[in-house]
Amino acid sequence: MPATAIAFDRYSQLQDDDCEERILAAKKDLGSRAVILGHHYQRADVYKHADLTGDSLRLSKLSGSTDAEFVVFCGVHFMAEVADIMGKPGQVVVLPDMAAGCSMADMASLPKVERAWRELSEVLDPDEKVTPVTYINSAADLKAFCGEHGGIVCTSSNAGKILDWSFARREKVLFFPDQHLGRWSGYKMGIPLEQMQVWDPDEPMGGLTPEQIRDARILLWKGHCSVHQMFQPQHILKFRNQHPDGIVISHPECKFEVCKLSDYVGSTDTIIKTIAAAPENTRWLVGTELNLVNRIAGEFKPQGKQIQFMSPVVCMCSTMARIDPQHLAWTLENLVQGRVVNQIKVPQGDADLARVALERMLAVS
């Protein structure tokens, strides 16, 4: 942070109402120089200030299509990296709190993936036989790894198409970091469960025998989203018992058993679109992050749609929630003063290779 930037301490004790006024004033001052992006999972008191909203992919595409000098990303770290990689030259991407990470993204790292690649090469030639596929929820250097090794990025909206693309090139896929999205997408394309093996990065050879590796079509990295693991089959069974006409929709980051029991499985965008297109007065059980479920419950209430959160306990993305009105006010007021705090800048080499993997994805989906 430049020495002259306003320190965050002065904001940490600010009341939410004060922050609100200061955010609105700073937005007015900055005008079209700054664009605020808000992810679907963002808390309501931050989301309401967003100029553009959506999932991570939509947001990074949209931010690059604006002429804003500053992109203030109210989401998590990997999303801000994608916005930097795909943004216009000179555009500055800011993450209001650097601690807003993604615990699932952190479950894969470049040294661990490189080790997996070396270990695989003891059994087969991975650059000939294995397409590395990374979920967009991953660090930029892993996207760069995919760019360099003939691989690709996927999101929860396009994972099926991305697997088709991958299998058209090589016979196997190493899918990281979310085993659940990988398994569900493979299952939907007809791959038997026994041909999908979990690769445990903390075990030598992923904990697999050479034979298991040779027989597998998808190697599923042992990673998961803790928020989506809170949803359980019994939540769905109880709902169905109470509401036989109810409809269940889950995110593919949920465990396999939850996805299997659901009527629909899809990304945040799919969840919103499916409920929007449904007849009035329908009742829904939704298995994804609480802020999104609360928001759509309010939005669709006038249509008589009753939307219920899948878990009886609160499960929010706590890292996303680190972007609070205090951090947003701090970031914007610094920009008004001409100071950039918390810039996200992916090193050029990684950015160039990661862009290759992201562009392959955009061409497919």
Closest CB to ligand CIZ among residues 56, 197: 56
**156 is an interface residue for ligand CIZ by CB under 6 A:** yes
Amino acid at residue number 305 = K
Q: Which is nearer to ligand CIZ, 224 or 251 (CB)?
A: 251
If binding means CB under 6 A, how many residues of this protein chain bind ligand SF4?
13
**Footprint (CB under 6 A) of ligand CIZ, residues 332-361:** none
Q: Is the dihedral of CA 273, 279, 280, 283 positive or negative?
A: negative
Structure tokens belonging to residue 255: 């465990």
Contacts 24+ apart (CB under 8 A), 204-208: 204/119, 205/119, 205/122, 205/123, 206/116, 206/119
Q: Report if residue 292 touches ligand CIZ, rule: CB under 6 A.
A: no
* Radius of gyration for the chain, computed over Cα atoms and rounded to the nearest angstrom: 21
**Residues 72-91: x where in contact with ligand SF4 by CB under 6 A, - otherwise, as a string:** ----x---------------
Q: Is 56 in the site for ligand CIZ (CB under 6 A)?
A: yes
Of the chain, the end-to-end C-alpha distance in Å amounts to: 38
Q: Which of residues 185-224 bind ligand SF4 (CB under 6 A)?
A: none
Q: From ligand SF4, ligand CIZ, none, which one binds at residue 42 (CB under 5 to 8 Å depending on kind)?
A: none
Return the bridge partners of 268, or none.
none
Which among 250, 245, 252, 276 has a CA at the least distance from the CA of 263? 250
Query: Is there binding between residue 55 and ligand CIZ (CB under 6 A)?
Result: yes
Least spacing, CB of residue 266 vs ligand CIZ, in Å: 8
Amino acid at 18: D
> Between 80 and 236, whose beta carbon lies closer to ligand SF4?
80
Which of the listed partners (ligand CIZ, ligand SF4, none) does 56 bind, with a CB threshold of 5 to 8 Å by partner kind? ligand CIZ
Q: For ligand SF4, what does the binding mask look like between residues 127 and 166, x meaning CB under 6 A?
A: ----------x-----------------------------
Residue 136 in contact with ligand CIZ, rule: CB under 6 A? yes
**DSSP result, 288-350:** S-HHHHHHHHHHHGGGT-EEEES-SS----TTGGG--HHHHHHHHHHHHTT---SB----HHH
Task: Choose between 130 and 136: whose C-beta lies nearer to ligand SF4.
Answer: 136
Alpha helix (H) ranges present in the chain?
Answer: 9-12, 16-30, 44-47, 56-64, 77-86, 110-120, 126-129, 140-148, 159-169, 179-188, 210-215, 233-242, 256-261, 268-277, 290-300, 325-336, 348-364
Give the number of residues in contact with ligand CIZ, rule: CB under 6 A: 12
Verify binding: residue 227, ligand SF4, rule CB under 6 A.
yes
* Binding-site string for ligand SF4 from residue 257 to residue 296, where x marks contact by CB under 6 A and - marks none: --------------------------------x-------
Q: Is 61 left (phi over 0), alpha (psi -120 to 50) or beta?
A: alpha
Cβ neighbours of 254 (radius 10 Å): 29
As a whole number of angstroms, the distance between CA 125 and CA 293 comes to 44
Q: Which does 53 bind (CB under 5 to 8 A by kind): ligand SF4, ligand CIZ, none?
A: none
Q: Which of 185, 197, 232, 267 binds ligand CIZ (CB under 6 A)?
A: 267
Residues that bind ligand SF4 (CB under 6 A): 41, 76, 102-104, 137, 225, 227, 253, 289, 317, 319-320
Residues that bind ligand CIZ (CB under 6 A): 39, 55-57, 136-137, 155-156, 251, 267-269
